């Protein structure tokens, strides 16, 4: 499951976005925490709807995205530093930075004016500073430990952290570092905030909503978006929250009026998937039809582990068919007759839209 943490200055619209993505028809509350609210959105997916219509299973289980919203981070003294102490942010796969672009004199901006480019940079600086604190503390400890026992492992860690420090000190985020697989893994262990992919959610003024993707241009953050693992998506949290609460017929009419093709929820989830390079595969049957999300280029044996570690451990073969073939033929048997049902091994790279039955030893 993809986990996203919402960050941003106060009154940017984090909580409005959180409500938008977790209050829809297909959402499930997950429960509160003292330091953050956590909610789960189900990923809208037409392919899963079609497979469900075909198999008529007892259960339809969409892929899920977990969102965490924190109370009042940024702007204050604590800043991004506070995020480091909150598990749903430390553990997040991606950060969603909600940036205020709406004008509303009744809601004061903490910096006195609406300026998306300034806020994007300021939040990046906070995140970088928070990571720098972690790097420096860890380096101090390492130096002491290395004096006692200089293992190659500690040396490698030190080398990596020195590179991190240089990057952060030059105001660059750790997601900009180019790392080998071993270093990447080591870095992940630290759960640095600036190493996480960043989705900038531009919370537009109602008046700009219809301008759609061009609205990104209004923010003046082209240079920033050229950075590694950084994207932007426009929404209008307040209006889209109102739309989400309408019944289906009214919702379609309202969206057409505003020139919206996709709901804010769909756009944010799609952009998060894109950013992280996530894809979906499906499992089907009379019992349940289900979507699973995995990173692109995942081998079958690892994808199996997404379902259950036993299935990965006892992996024998993956029976794979494209969902469009399954929909066209109507049954797995018909796909098999046409040679569209393939047997694949552990190393097979799972593709977006594969329908898979894992054969495994128990």
Ligand X SMILES: Nc1nc2c(ncn2[C@@H]2O[C@H](COP(=O)(O)OP(=O)(O)O)[C@@H](O)[C@H]2O)c(=O)[nH]1
How far apart CA 225 and CA 200 sit, in angstroms, is 9
**What is the smallest separation between the CB atom of 207 and Mg ion, expressed in angstroms?**
23
**What is the smallest separation between the CB atom of 13 and ligand X, expressed in angstroms?**
4
Partner from Mg ion, ligand X, none contacting 36, C-beta within 5 to 8 A by type:
none
Q: The tokens of 295 are what?
A: 């990173």
How far apart CA 3 and CA 91 sit, in angstroms, is 8
**Closest C-alpha among 145, 180, 174, 151 to residue 162:** 174
Partner from ligand X, Mg ion, none contacting 16, C-beta within 5 to 8 A by type:
ligand X
Place of tokens 């390079």: 277
Residue pair 13/69 in contact (Cβ under 8 Å)? The answer is no
Q: Which is nearer to ligand X, 92 or 236 (CB)?
A: 236
Residue from 2, 4, 7, 16 touching ligand X (CB under 6 A): that is 16
Which run of H or of E encompasses 120?
Answer: helix 116-148
Residue from 22, 203, 230, 298 touching ligand X (CB under 6 A): that is 203
**Closest C-alpha among 96, 230, 117 to residue 175:** 230
**What is the smallest separation between the CB atom of 171 and ligand X, expressed in angstroms?**
24
C-alpha 89, offset from chain centre: 12
| 37 lines the binding site for ligand X (CB under 6 A) | no
How far apart CA 163 and CA 297 sit, in angstroms, is 28
**What is the smallest separation between the CB atom of 14 and Mg ion, expressed in angstroms?**
5
Q: Which is nearer to ligand X, 102 or 348 (CB)?
A: 102
**What is the smallest separation between the CB atom of 14 and ligand X, expressed in angstroms?**
3
- Binding footprint of Mg ion on the chain (CB under 5 A): 14-15
Place of tokens 């989705």: 199
**What is the smallest separation between the CB atom of 74 and ligand X, expressed in angstroms?**
9
Give, as ranges, the residues between 50 and 109 that touch ligand X (CB under 6 A).
98, 102, 104, 107
Q: Which is nearer to Mg ion, 78 or 327 (CB)?
A: 78
Partner from ligand X, Mg ion, none contacting 10, C-beta within 5 to 8 A by type:
ligand X
How far apart CA 335 and CA 326 sit, in angstroms, is 6
How far apart CA 36 and CA 5 sit, in angstroms, is 10
Partner from ligand X, Mg ion, none contacting 104, C-beta within 5 to 8 A by type:
ligand X
Q: Which is nearer to Mg ion, 15 or 81 (CB)?
A: 15
Place of tokens 């790392």: 179
Residue from 2, 7, 12, 120 touching ligand X (CB under 6 A): that is 12
**# residues near ligand X by CB under 6 A:** 16
**What is the smallest separation between the CB atom of 119 and ligand X, expressed in angstroms?**
11
Give, as ranges, the residues between 211 and 250 that touch ligand X (CB under 6 A).
236-238
**What is the smallest separation between the CB atom of 250 and ligand X, expressed in angstroms?**
20
Provide the total of helices (H) and of strands (E) in the chain, helices listed first.
15, 13
The phi and psi torsions of 57 (rounded to 5 degrees) equal -80, 165
Please list, residue by residue across 117-131, b when 16 or more beta carbons sit within 10 angstroms of its beta carbon and e when fewer do: eebbebbbebbbbbb
Q: Which is nearer to ligand X, 187 or 236 (CB)?
A: 236
Name, in order, each residue with C-beta under 8 angstroms of 334's C-beta and a sequence gap of 6 or more.
Answer: none
Question: Which residues contact ligand X by CB under 6 A?
Answer: 8, 10-16, 98, 102, 104, 107, 203, 236-238
């Amino acid at each position: 499951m993809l986990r996203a943490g919402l960050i941003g200055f106060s009154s940017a619209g984090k909580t409005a976005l959180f409500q938008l993505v977790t209050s829809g028809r297909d959402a499930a509350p997950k429960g509160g925490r003292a330091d953050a609210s956590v909610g789960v959105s189900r990923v809208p997916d037409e392919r899963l709807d079609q497979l469900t219509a075909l198999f008529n299973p007892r259960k339809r289980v969409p892929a899920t995205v977990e969102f965490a919203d924190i109370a009042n981070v940024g702007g204050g003294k604590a800043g991004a530093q506070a995020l480091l102490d909150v598990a749903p942010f430390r553990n997040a796969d991606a950060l969603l930075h909600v940036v205020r672009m709406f004008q509303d004199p009744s809601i004061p901006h903490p910096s006195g004016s609406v300026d998306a480019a300034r806020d994007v940079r300021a939040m990046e600086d906070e995140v970088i500073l928070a990571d720098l604190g972690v790097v420096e503390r860890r380096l101090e400890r390492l130096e002491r430990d290395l004096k006692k026992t200089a293992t190659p492992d500690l040396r490698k860690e030190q080398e990596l952290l020195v590179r991190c420090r240089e990057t952060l000190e030059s105001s660059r985020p750790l997601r900009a570092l180019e790392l080998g697989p071993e270093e990447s893994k080591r870095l992940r262990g630290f759960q640095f905030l600036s190493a996480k992919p960043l989705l900038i959610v531009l919370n537009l003024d109602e008046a700009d909503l219809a301008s759609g993707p061009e609205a990104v241009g209004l923010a003046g953050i082209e240079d920033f978006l050229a950075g590694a693992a950084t994207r932007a998506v426009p929404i209008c949290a307040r209006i889209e929250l109102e739309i989400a609460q309408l019944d289906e017929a009214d919702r379609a009419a309202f969206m057409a009026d505003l020139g919206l093709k996709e709901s804010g929820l769909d756009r944010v989830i799609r952009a998060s998937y894109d950013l992280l390079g996530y894809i979906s595969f499906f499992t089907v049957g009379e019992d349940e039809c289900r979507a699973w999300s995995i990173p692109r280029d995942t081998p079958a044996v690892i994808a199996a582990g997404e379902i259950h570690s036993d299935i990965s451990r006892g992996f024998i073969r993956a029976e794979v068919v494209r969902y469009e073939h399954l929909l066209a033929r109507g049954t797995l048997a018909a796909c098999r007759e046409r040679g569209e049902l393939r047997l694949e091994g552990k190393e097979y790279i799972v593709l977006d839209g594969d329908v898979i039955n894992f054969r495994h030893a128990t």
